[in-house]
Amino acid sequence: MTKAVVIKTKELSITDYINQDAIYKNIQSVLKDRTPQFITSVVSLTNANAALKEADKKSLLGACLTAAALNLPIAQSLGFAFIIPYKDRKSNTTVAQFQMGYKGFIQLAMNSGKFKTMNVSDVKEGEIKGIDRLSGEIGFEWADEGRDKLKTIGYVAYMKLINGFEKSFYMTVEELKEHGVRFSQTMKKGHGLWLDDFDSMAKKTVIKLLLSKYAPMTNEMARAHESDQAIITDEGYKYIDNRKETPEEIANEKEKKRVLEFIEKAKDLKQLANVQTAVQEWQDEEISKAYEDKAGSLEGENE
Amino acid sequence: MRRSQKPMRIKRAVWKEKMNKVDFSNYKFRASGLVNLMTNSRTKSDPLGESTKTYLRDIFIKEVYGREKLDIKTKYTDKGIACESDSLDLVQKVTKQTYFKNKSGLENEWVKGTPDIIIPKDHIKDIKTSWDIWTFAKVDAKVASDTYFYQLFAYMWLTETERAELLYCLVNTPEEIIQGEAYRASFQFPEIGESDEAMAKFRKNYLFDDIPVKVRIKNFWFEYSEEEVEKVKNKVVLAREYLAQLHL
C-alpha cells in the first residue's frame, strides 16, 4: 500500500524547500544553467522581507519562476518585477503575489523586436497644450527648468513601432488613484505599492494599458499581462488583489480598526474596561494582544 | 351523450418526500423577520395572511431545499452592513459615548437575533444606516415603528430589557458602492462618465461630510410589553404549524 507523504511546506526554510529533489529538478528543467543564480536571488529576496519568509513557499516559488521565465530580475530595487506578500484572510495564510514593474513591461516590449521606442513620463502642470480631436493625441510642451517643483497632474506612456505606428496614452492623477482603489485591496487599506510608490504604479498602469490596447501581443507580453497581480498556483493564476470585499468583510475590518484605535487611545484602566466585552467577543489574536499590552502598560503607569 | 361542460378537477399527487428533514415545531424566527409574521391578516378565517405565507414559504424552501432568493440582498443592505462601524462612529460623535458592536447571537424558545448594542439591564440599541438623504428624510416615528418595532421588541425580549432605541444614521457611502452606482447611472446619464462636474454632482449625493453630524441621526424609543409577547407567541405557533405542512 502506498503511503501518501505530506510535506509541510510552511515549516521549511526557502533554501530547504528549493533543495528538495523534486522541486530542484523542476526549477532546473525550466532555467537550466541559470538555476544557481536564480536560487541566490530567491534566498536574498526572502531574507530581505520578513513577510515573504512566512509566505507559502509554493506561491513564492511560482511567482519567482514566472519572473525568471520572462527573463526579469526579481530584485525589488531594480523595479522590473515585484514579489509581494499578501495575507489571504479566507485561508489565513500569507501568499506571494507576482507583480510586473513598469520597467518590466518596457523590457518585454523592447525584447520583442517590434518596437522602435517606448517611454513613460509624468506630466506636470502646464505641460498639456491641447488635444487633437481627430487622432485623439495630446500635445505636450515639456517644461525644463524647475520641472521638479511643478505639480504632477498625470502620466503618459508612448510607443513607436518599427512599422511607424505610434500611440500615446494619458491618465490624470485622479483617474490613476481611482484605478488603484478599484484594483488594489491594499491601497484601500492604506498601504501597499500604490501608496508607497505611486509614481511607479502610475507609470506601470499607463504603460500596461497602452500596450494592452494598442501593441502587438507577443507570447511573453501576454504571459506578463496574465500573471501580473496573480498568485501562481497549481490550478493556474488566482487574482487575489482584485477580489471584491464583501460588505461583511468591510464591516469587520472597520469595526476591528475602531476597537484597536479605542484600545490604543485608552487613557486609564477604567476607560479600557469599556472595550473588554468587545475584546472577548472578537476572539481575535491582534485585538487580544493589543488589549493585554495596553492593560499592562496602564497598570505599570499606576504603580 | 353530451359531455359535461364543467372543467375537470385534477387532484394533484403530492410528492411529500422532503430533502432535509426539518422539525419546524421548535423553529425560531429571526428578529429581523418577525415583522413579516406580525402583519395583520385581512380575513379572520386566515389568521396568517398572504404576505406572511409568502415569507414562510421562503423559509421553508431555504431550510428544506437550501435555496435562498438572491434579491433579498440589495445595495441597501450592502451599505447597511458595510457602514455599521461608520454609523457607530457617528453615534459616538453625537452622544460622546463609545459603543462597540455586539457579536453574540441570542435566542429563546421563539426567536433569535443579534442586537447591535446591549446596555445590560437597561436597554438595547439598534442602528440602521440610510441609503441616501432622501430615504433618511422620509423616516419618522410611524415608518420606524412599522418597519422595526418587532425586531427591537424581540431584542428586548431576548435581553430582558424594557427599552430599545432605534437610531437611523446618514453616513458616507463606501467608494465601491458609489463606483457601482456611477457605472449603472452612466447608461442613463452619459455625462456622469464624461464630465468631472457631473461626476462630482453625482458623488455629492452619496457623501454627507458637509452636513452637521447632529442632524444626521434620528432616534426613536420603543417599550417592552407582555401583551406583545403573547401576540408573538400565538403567531409563532401558527407559523410553525403552517411550515410543518408545506410542500413544493
Helix, strand or coil, per DSSP, at residue B11: coil
Q: Are residues A129 and A112 in the same domain?
A: yes
- Tens-place pLDDT, residues B167-209: 999 999 987 788 778 767 777 777 776 677 888 899 999 999 9
Q: Are residues A113 and A80 in the same domain?
A: no
Q: Are residues A79 and A124 in the same domain?
A: no
- Tens-place pLDDT, residues A138-192: 889 998 888 888 999 999 999 999 999 989 999 999 888 887 766 665 555 555 6
Rg (CA), chain A: 24
Strands A152-161 vs A115-124: parallel, antiparallel or unpaired: antiparallel
pLDDT the model gives residue A235? 63
- Tens-place pLDDT, residues B116-142: 999 999 999 999 999 999 999 999 999
Q: Are residues A14 and A25 in the same domain?
A: yes
Instruction: Name the minimum distance, in Å, from the CA of B33 to any CA of chain A.
Output: 19
Chain B hits for A277, Cβ within 8 Å: 100, 102
What is the domain range of residue A199?
102-224
pLDDT the model gives residue A2? 38
Cβ-defined contact of A251 to B98 (cutoff 8 Å): no
A3 lies in some domain: no
| Domain limit, last residue, from A50, A80, A100 | A100
Task: Please report the number of interchain residue pairs, chain A to chain B, with beta-carbon separation below 8 angstroms.
Answer: 51
Q: Are residues A128 and A88 in the same domain?
A: no
- Tens-place pLDDT, residues A12-33: 788 888 888 888 888 888 888 8
Which residues, 6+ apart, have CB-to-CB distance to A12 below 8 Å? Answer: A20, A57
Q: Are residues A142 and A196 in the same domain?
A: yes
Cβ-defined contact of A255 to B86 (cutoff 8 Å): no
Q: How many CA atoms lie within 13 A of A154 on its CB side?
A: 16
Q: Are residues A109 and A88 in the same domain?
A: no
Three cell numbers at A15? 533554501
Q: Are residues A136 and A44 in the same domain?
A: no
Instruction: Name the minimum distance, in Å, from the CA of A250 to any CA of chain B.
Output: 5
Closest CA to A256 of A218, A297, A215, A288: A288
Give the integer Cα–Cα distance in Å for A184 and B96: 35
| Domain limit, last residue, from A190, A224, A258 | A224
- Partners of B119 in beta bridges: B123
Contact between B172 and B203 (Cβ < 8 Å):
no
Q: Are residues A95 and A108 in the same domain?
A: no
Write the DSSP assignment of A84-151 as a string of letters. Answer: EEEEETTTTEEEEEEEE-HHHHHHHHHHTT-EEEEEEEEEETT-EEEE-TTT-PEEE----TTGGGSP
| Domain limit, last residue, from A209, A224, A239 | A224
Give the integer Cα–Cα distance in Å for A277 and B101: 10
Alpha helices per DSSP H over B69-215: 75-82, 84-95, 133-138, 141-159, 175-188, 191-194, 196-204
Q: Are residues A108 and A71 in the same domain?
A: no
A291 lies in some domain: yes
A1 lies in some domain: no
User: How many H helices and E strands in chain A?
Assistant: 15, 9
pLDDT the model gives residue A88? 67
Is the pTM for the entire model greater than 0.95?
no
Q: Are residues A166 and A214 in the same domain?
A: yes
pLDDT the model gives residue A283? 87
A232 lies in some domain: no
For B56, counting Cβ atoms within 10 Å of its Cβ (0-12 exposed, 13-18 middle, 19+ buried), the class is buried
Give the integer Cα–Cα distance in Å for B228 and B238: 15
Contact between A141 and A134 (Cβ < 8 Å):
no
Three cell numbers at A27? 526549477
Q: Are residues A257 and A293 in the same domain?
A: yes
Chain B hits for A244, Cβ within 8 Å: 176
Contact between A288 and A294 (Cβ < 8 Å):
no
Instruction: Name the minimum distance, in Å, from the CA of A94 to any CA of chain B.
Output: 25
For A121, counting Cβ atoms within 10 Å of its Cβ (0-12 exposed, 13-18 middle, 19+ buried), the class is middle
Give the integer Cα–Cα distance in Å for B136 and B146: 15
pLDDT the model gives residue A3? 40
A220 lies in some domain: yes
Domain count across chain A: 3
